[in-house]
A and B are shown apart, each in its own frame.
Chain A
Amino acid sequence: MKAIQQSIQNGGLSLVKRLQSGIVATGVATVLGLGGLGGSATASADALEDIESRGTIRIAVPQDFPPFGSVGPDLQPRGYDIDMANYLADEMGVTLELITVTSANRIPYLQTGQADLVISSLGKNAEREAAIDFSDAYAPFFLGVFSADPDERLDTPEELAGMTIGATRGAVEDMELSNIAPDSTTIQRFEDNATTISAFLSGQVDYVATGNLVAAEIAERNSNRAPSLIYQLKDSPCYVGMNKNEPALQAEVNRLIDQALKDGTLNEFSQRWLSADLPDGFGS
């Protein structure tokens, strides 16, 4: 059904053609799992070769999700994902063409061949893995317990004993923390993120359970009380998305991510946009 819908979007003509060519074409489309792609964009054997011969790489980035992607004061997209896209294009020696997408349409852009890569704070799940391939992780995205003290670090949840930790009631981090925290941990729950942040900034709580993006926001507002991660609750890093069965492209992206990890480029992005170093063991 979806295949037909997309075919209609791609133009009535291809639907007619498809119906004429019958079972075989439909079968191919189904096997590829590419819906109404029509096959023209990825008919050639290798997406990487296409990008190189075209001299342009088309990358889908967010524009409504700071600090990964938003519109800057100069009306140009900016953020972690945009820096990442620029880095990949530079290293591959091709021109970058940014396509701004929303979280709902970022995968369809890829599947319909309108983008070569999706760098859009994309997390992995089984459903997505059935539809597209992923690179190695390029950006940290996690929930954790953060401290006002930059030197503190915990190894086990038992060490949370006796601490008073602020959290937003009902948020995923509240649930995760409630599951693992010892009985002697006090979780002070607040109504919303803003109130939780106030409690941390005013010193009413010295620990806060939240996401690394919120922690970055706090650090930006008040560098004297920049939250530093002491215990990770849930890890869901971001990956570059690409179409299935593109081993050459996947290998090239992974090679560049690995290089960026080693030469400190990724850490620089993390510092710039998330106000923190990459977490220990990132990418391993």
Chain B
Amino acid sequence: MGSLDFLTLLPYTSDLLKGLLTTVVLTVVTTLAGIMLAVVVAYLRAHGQIWLRRGLGTYVEVTRNTPFIVQLFFIFFGLPGLGIKIDAITAAFIAMTLNLAAYSAEILRAGISATAKGQLEAGRALGMSALQSYRHIVLVPAFARVYPSLISQAIIVMLGSAVVSQISVFDLTYAANFVQSRNFRSFEVYLLITLVYLLLAFGLRRAFMLVGSRVFAYQRGETR
């Protein structure tokens, strides 16, 4: 191998930026959508009809016990066999959202079940509506309890998004593979994106903390 030369990456700046942008957008959208879906799934698994609970339980278990790349390939290459054709970026979005939602729902369920039933009844007795008491007494504290685990899960999904390059989504890894196939500078380009992923992970954690410090502001000064 010749000496290191990061300048060989310069002509591919726009490709790498395009890849970075895709990864960031994909991460932001799937994190929001995944956690919202997780709330719904966690709620319905705790309070829904029996058939709904079973169905969602199956979804959570199937997702948590199969490889992400297989889920992704099933959506992209498999579903067209049933006449459902989904383009690469949408398939990536769906696969990542479903994946994050399944794990997060399971994490949230633990947080929700930690709230004693009596607390919820106390809320109702104080005149809160069912929705209000559920939101303020169950959901927000549940989130607060499992927040660190949720952050880690979102980061895991963000890092796992590298796999979507396999179905030709132009994400950061796709860009790196592309550059590597043109200038054969694998060390430089993969070192670069390693650092970028590292920064993205730090950034995502930071953003979560920022949101958390606002949402859970009521806890400040409270002893736990």
**Measuring CB to CB, which residues of chain A are less than 8 angstroms from any residue of chain B?**
166, 169-170, 174, 188-191, 195, 198-199, 202-204
Q: How far is the CB of A183 from chain B (nearest CB, A)?
A: 12
Q: Which residue of the partner chain B has the closest CB to A203?
A: B80
Contact pattern, B 84-110, Cβ under 8 Å of A = 1, otherwise 0: 010110000000000000000000000
Contact of A190 among B78, B87, B168, B182 (CB under 8 A): B168
**27 CB-based A-B contacts, threshold 8 Å:** A169-B177, A169-B181, A170-B181, A174-B181, A188-B88, A188-B168, A189-B168, A189-B177, A189-B178, A190-B166, A190-B167, A190-B168, A195-B166, A198-B77, A199-B77, A199-B167, A199-B168, A202-B76, A202-B78, A202-B81, A202-B85, A203-B85, A204-B76, A204-B80, A204-B87, A204-B88, A204-B167
B76 contact set on A, CB distance < 8 A: 202, 204
Q: For the complex formed, measure the closest distance between the CB of A185 and the CB atoms of chain B, giving whole angstroms.
A: 14
A166-B168, A169-B181, A170-B181 known; A189-B174 Cβ under 8 A: yes
CA separation between A189 and B174, bound complex, in Å?
9
The docked-state distance in angstroms from the alpha carbon of A188 to that of B171 is 12
- List the A side residues contacting B87 at CB < 8 Å: 204
Query: Shortest distance in angstroms between B85's beta carbon and chain A's nearest beta carbon?
Result: 6
The answer on a CB contact under 8 Å between B168 and A202 is: no
> Does A169 contact B178, Cβ atoms closer than 8 Å?
yes
A164 to B167, alpha carbons, bound, how many Å? Answer: 14
Closest to A171 in B: B181
Contact partners of A170 in chain B: CB under 8 A: 181-182
Least CB distance, A164 to chain B, in whole angstroms: 9
Look across to chain A and name the residue whose beta carbon is closest to the beta carbon of B165. A191
CB distance from B84 to the nearest CB of A (A): 10
Scoring B168, B174, B178 by chain A CB atoms within 10 A of each residue's CB, the highest score goes to B168
Cα A189 to Cα B179 in complex, Å, equals: 12
CA of A21 to CA of B77 in the docked complex: distance in angstroms?
A: 70
Give every chain B residue within 8 A of A191 (Cβ-Cβ): 166
The complex places the Cα of A202 from the Cα of B81 at a distance, in Å, of: 7
Q: Bound complex: CA of A169 vs CA of B221, how far in Å? A: 56
Separation of A166 and B88 alpha carbons in the complex (Å): 12
Cα of A195 to Cα of B69 in the assembled complex, Å: 13
A204 near B166 (CB under 8 angstroms)?
no
Nearest-Cβ distance from residue B70 to partner chain A, whole angstroms: 14
Q: How far is the CB of B74 from chain A (nearest CB, A)?
A: 11
Do the beta carbons of B178 and A202 come within 8 Å of each other?
no
| A190 vs B177: C-alpha distance when bound (angstroms) | 10
In the assembled complex, which residues on chain B have CB atoms less than 8 Å from the CB atom of A169?
A: 177-178, 181
Query: A189 to B165, alpha carbons, bound, how many Å?
Result: 9
Residues of B within 8 A of A166 (CB): 168
Q: How far is the CB of B28 from chain A (nearest CB, A)?
A: 23
- Please report the C-alpha to C-alpha distance between residue A198 and residue B168 in the assembled complex, in whole angstroms: 12
Residues of B within 8 A of A190 (CB): 166-168
- The docked-state distance in angstroms from the alpha carbon of A203 to that of B79 is 10
Residues of A within 8 A of B81 (CB): 202
Which residues of the partner chain A approach B181 to less than 8 Å between Cβ atoms? 169-170, 174
Which of chain A's residues has its CB closest to B73's CB?
A198
Taking the nearest CB of chain B, how far is it from the CB of A195, in angstroms? 7
Closest 10 CB pairs of A and B: A170-B181, A188-B168, A202-B80, A202-B77, A203-B80, A198-B77, A169-B181, A203-B85, A190-B168, A189-B168
Give B172-191 as 1s and 0s: 1 = Cβ < 8 Å from A's Cβ atoms. 00100110011000000000
Cβ distance B73 to chain A, nearest Cβ, rounded Å: 8
The interface residues of chain A lying within 8 Å CB-to-CB of B77 are 198-199, 202, 204
Most buried by B among A188, A195, A203, A204: A204
Which residue of chain B is the closest to A195 with respect to CB atoms? Answer: B166
Q: How far is the CA of A100 from the CA of B174 in the complex (A)?
A: 42
B88 partner residues in chain A, CB cutoff 8 A: 188, 204
| Known interface pairs A189-B177, A195-B166, A202-B85; 16 further A-B residue pairs with C-beta atoms within 8 A, sorted by A's residue number | A170-B181, A170-B182, A189-B178, A190-B166, A190-B168, A191-B166, A199-B77, A199-B167, A202-B76, A202-B77, A202-B80, A203-B80, A203-B85, A204-B77, A204-B80, A204-B167
In the bound complex, what is the Cα–Cα distance between A202 and B87 (angstroms)? 11
Smallest Cβ-Cβ distance to A170: which chain B residue: B181
Q: Provide the bound-state CA to CA distance between A190 and B76, in Å.
A: 13
Cα separation A203 to B86 with both chains bound (whole Å): 10
Set of chain B residues within 8 Å of A188, measured between Cβ atoms: 88, 168
